[in-house]
Structure 1
Amino acid sequence: MKVWILNHVALKPSETGITRHYDIAHELVKKDHKIRIFASSFLAYRFVWRNKQKKNYKENVNGVIFEWLWTLPYKGNGIMRILNMISFFFMAMWRGMKKKERPDAIVGSSVHLFACLAAYFLSKWKKAAYIVEIRDLWPRTLIELGSMSKHHPAVLMFGAIEKFVYKRADQIIVTLPGAAQYIKEMGVDEKIIHVIPNGINMDRMEEKEGKSSLEDEISKIKEKHGQVAMYVGSHGVANSLETVVNSAKFVFPEKTAYVLVGDGPEKDNLKNLASEYEHVYFFDGIPKKEVMPTLALADVLLVSMLDTQLYKYGISLNKLNDYLLIGKPILFAGNVSNDIVAEAKAGKSVAPEKPGEFAEGLEELLNLSEEEKAEISRNSYRYVNEKHNITKLADRFLDICAFQETGETSKAYQLSVKEN
């Protein structure tokens, strides 16, 4: 089967961040399917070009074909970001229409909905099945996180595109379990909505034996402070790392250090907030191959979420899959409809945006017995293998893309209904 995936911010496995579509595609090319990913050659999270010499080019990454597209460079969250998204729409259309290949299915994947819109027009041009994948509920996310009012022109624009693509999709994939109900309430038949969360390659457990570039520095931190509570991931508003940093005031420096690894727009603010604490350390983002050996150096792993109505639709965090696979106790602060840490019995959950409760939860996990830690490790592996194994999820993804050919209710739909 031939599948095109339009994802503005798709990444290669060597890059830092979410590699959902490469991971799915790589599993499918092993079974002789042909997967082509259209993505921007401008790295939005770093505001740099992937290749300074080339802006429009093709790259074969372990059998997965990436079509890198020029998009308008930008910084920040202003009008230039919107224009960057629009430029992706036109470039994806241009490159797609030039291709002689006729795919069986074209998947338009958010975050932004111009990718879904471009996939719709290309699917008509190529006479392919049209699949919409929603990984973030725009414009709902923009409203709930407080960045825009419901009357903002961008919100109104994305709201119109949202309704347009939902009504025309042959199938819809969502990563958040609650998003299915959200889309259903817009008049979409629930039979075409499928939940496929973010997944992980279970073989990545072997990476634990590798070397982390932070190993020496973290060893020194442990010598000074004792145990390490670690966060690895993006430093953005939605990550609510202020809660993590502010909890440091309730934790003895001689017993525990905080290690935050990653990059993002809030990092400088967080460093300023943490300047009064001697036991809070920041490190830059690390390559994906170093994530497992770095997580293995921690005693407890941290996740913090904002206290917002947005999470009534659920979460699907890549970092949680990494955390579960490595098997360390997880401290989760959030009010979400699908508390994965509680479901997996992988640690402790506390209320969001309450630094004192966060510190208490951390203290409890740091004092677990070896038997309790071993049980958490077993629970975590069992859960992530059952729910987030990328091999299983890739099969479900393909099943949905092949729906037009069978004309029958897909196995993926039956599975998603059963599990959610």
Structure 2
Amino acid sequence: MRIWILNHYACQRHGTGLTSHAVLAHYLRAMGHEPVVFPAAFAQVHAPAARLSPRRLFADCIDDGTRFRFIRAREYHSTLGRFWNMRSYARNVVRATDDLPPPDVVIGSLAHPFAVEAAWRLARRRGAKFVYEIRDIWPQSLIDLGSLSPWHPICRYFARLERQAFRRADAVMSVLPGIAEYAATHGVPADRVLYLPNGIDPAIFPELAEPPADGPFVISCFGRFGSGNDMDTIVAAAETLHQRPEAVNIRIRLVGDGPSKTVLERRAAAAGLTNIEFLGLVGKHELVELSRESHAFVHAHRRMSVVERYGMSVNKVFGFMAAGRPVLFACRSSYDPIREARAGLTVEPEDPAALAQAMFELSRTPDAERRAMGARARQHVLQYHDLSKLARRLDAFLADLVSAPRLPATHRRAA
């Protein structure tokens, strides 16, 4: 089966960023399929080496045997520029496939709605089935984050694109646990919906040795500074702990990049915090070493209605769990893997005092109990979020889809 995956921000398997599609493609190829991944050549998460000269429409790269076709996209340094970056990717990817044999399935991943529309156009042109992959609910997520008013023209435009994508889709897949409920409101039957969560590549996440017994109690967080990731609350929790002499042994390590990082670094410096450090982006293998040095992990997420209702599937949380360490989860979600696996502590989002207290309590938890939490975390993620297993689920779903008749228009309705 030839499978095309359009995701503006997809990264190669051993890279830093959104690697899920690369890992799924790796295992699909091992099953005999021919996947091609189409990322943008210029996006925030890509290194400058991925950029193309103005005269080149695309560049191919073979990653672990999987073809990556990097599509030219307009460079940007502003919010408006990012909009045109997305539009140029969608326009160019449709023009950059004429030399490839026709696909059986085209997956349009909702990194943004324009990529989804481009995937539908390619599927229609090549006679393939179109799968709408929802990684985030647009535009409601933007509304929840305060990025857009529900009455803004762009918000209404994105809502129209979403309804259009549901009507056009032959099937829907999503990382969100509540996707069946959401898709049903758009008239998609349950047998055409696949819940395929994010996960980990077991080949890259080996079982780790115990962290150092001496030295500080290290709590790490890897991720982007911005969007739904609430690094502000983590820094505020560090400020609270800095004022508690009994918490002097706790050290918080934030690894990553993003628009709010510089502001938070300055805030920590102005407060004289000695219990927090900021590191830049690192590769997957460096993350494994930083994970080994960590005694626990923390993920804080902003309060969002879509997360509370439909759940979330955060790659880095599953990476934390795969490391075999307890996790502090400052998030209100209908799917809470930490509570479900008894793999750490869950606290309310956007509450620095509660998070600081949870950090302190975990640092005082006996080693044997923390090891048990970490073991349950790893067992849970290997059972439910192993991408080699999830690839087999995707394989079966797509095989059924390709052989099934197209959905009649009467089975769909606009929301």
Query: In the alignment, is the contact (CA less than 8 A) between 2:58 and 2:96 conserved in 1?
Result: no
- How far apart, in 2, do the equivalents of 1:102 and 1:399 lie? 20
**1:397 maps to 2:394:** yes
Which residues in structure 2 correspond to 1:375-414 (within 5 Å)? 375-407=372-404
Which residues in structure 2 correspond to 1:45-64 (within 5 Å)? 45=45, 48=48, 50-51=50-51, 56-64=58-66
Equivalence for 1:413: none
Change in 2 beyond 3 A, CA 1:405/1:147: closer
Change in 2 beyond 3 A, CA 1:235/1:191: same
Equivalence for 1:307: 303
- How far apart, in 2, do the equivalents of 1:133 and 1:358 lie? 33
Equivalent residue of 2:362, what SS? helix
Equivalence for 2:150: 150
- How far apart, in 2, do the equivalents of 1:46 and 1:270 lie? 23
1:52, distance to aligned residue in structure 2 (A):
5.5
Query: In the alignment, is the contact (CA less than 8 A) between 2:325 and 2:375 conserved in 1?
Result: no
Change in 2 beyond 3 A, CA 1:208/1:258: same
- How far apart, in 1, do the equivalents of 2:346 and 2:86 lie? 36
- How far apart, in 1, do the equivalents of 2:198 and 2:401 lie? 24
Equivalence for 2:277: 281
1:208, distance to aligned residue in structure 2 (A):
4.6
- How far apart, in 1, do the equivalents of 2:277 and 2:61 lie? 37
- How far apart, in 2, do the equivalents of 1:168 and 1:333 lie? 37
Equivalence for 2:266: 272
**Aligned residues: percent identity?**
29
User: Given residue 284 of structure 1, which amino acid in structure 2 is its aligned partner?
Assistant: G
- How far apart, in 2, do the equivalents of 1:179 and 1:47 lie? 33
1:76, distance to aligned residue in structure 2 (A):
3.0
User: Given residue 133 of structure 1, which amino acid in structure 2 is its aligned partner?
Assistant: E
- How far apart, in 2, do the equivalents of 1:374 and 1:151 lie? 49
1:288-347, Cα deviation, whole Å (9 max, x unpaired): 121122111111211101122131221110111111111111111011111111011110
Equivalence for 1:246: 236
Equivalence for 2:68: 66
Query: In the alignment, is the contact (CA less than 8 A) between 1:232 and 1:319 conserved in 2?
Result: yes
TM-score under structure 2 length normalisation: 0.90
- How far apart, in 1, do the equivalents of 2:48 and 2:297 lie? 30
- Match for 2:328 among 328, 331, 337? 331
Equivalence for 2:408: none
Equivalence for 1:418: none
- How far apart, in 2, do the equivalents of 1:27 and 1:258 lie? 35
Equivalence for 1:294: 290
1:204, distance to aligned residue in structure 2 (A):
2.1
1:219-274, Cα deviation, whole Å (9 max, x unpaired): 9xx74xx2111111111131111111111233246311111111111101111221
- How far apart, in 2, do the equivalents of 1:136 and 1:353 lie? 21
Which residues in structure 2 correspond to 1:160-239 (within 5 Å)? 160-206=160-206, 208=208, 223=215, 226-239=216-229
TM-score under structure 1 length normalisation: 0.89
- How far apart, in 2, do the equivalents of 1:38 and 1:287 lie? 21
Equivalent residue of 2:67, what SS? strand
- How far apart, in 1, do the equivalents of 2:93 and 2:46 lie? 21
Query: In the alignment, is the contact (CA less than 8 A) between 2:86 and 2:114 conserved in 1?
Result: yes
Change in 2 beyond 3 A, CA 1:7/1:302: same
1:395, distance to aligned residue in structure 2 (A):
1.2
User: Given residue 370 of structure 2, which amino acid in structure 1 is its aligned partner?
Assistant: K
**1:262 maps to 2:252:** no
Query: In the alignment, is the contact (CA less than 8 A) between 2:50 and 2:70 conserved in 1?
Result: no
Aligned positions, number: 395
Equivalent residue of 1:41, what SS? coil
Equivalence for 2:24: 24
Equivalent residue of 1:198, what SS? coil
Unmatched segments (≥5 aa) in structure 2: 406-415
1:46, distance to aligned residue in structure 2 (A):
5.8
Query: In the alignment, is the contact (CA less than 8 A) between 2:106 and 2:128 conserved in 1?
Result: yes
**1:343 maps to 2:340:** yes
1:373, distance to aligned residue in structure 2 (A):
1.9
User: Given residue 195 of structure 1, which amino acid in structure 2 is its aligned partner?
Assistant: Y
Equivalence for 2:81: 80
1:115, distance to aligned residue in structure 2 (A):
1.1
- How far apart, in 2, do the equivalents of 1:3 and 1:237 lie? 30
Query: In the alignment, is the contact (CA less than 8 A) between 2:206 and 2:323 conserved in 1?
Result: no
Query: In the alignment, is the contact (CA less than 8 A) between 2:105 and 2:402 conserved in 1?
Result: no
User: Given residue 106 of structure 1, which amino acid in structure 2 is its aligned partner?
Assistant: V
Equivalent residue of 1:202, what SS? coil
- How far apart, in 2, do the equivalents of 1:308 and 1:148 lie? 14
Equivalence for 1:411: none
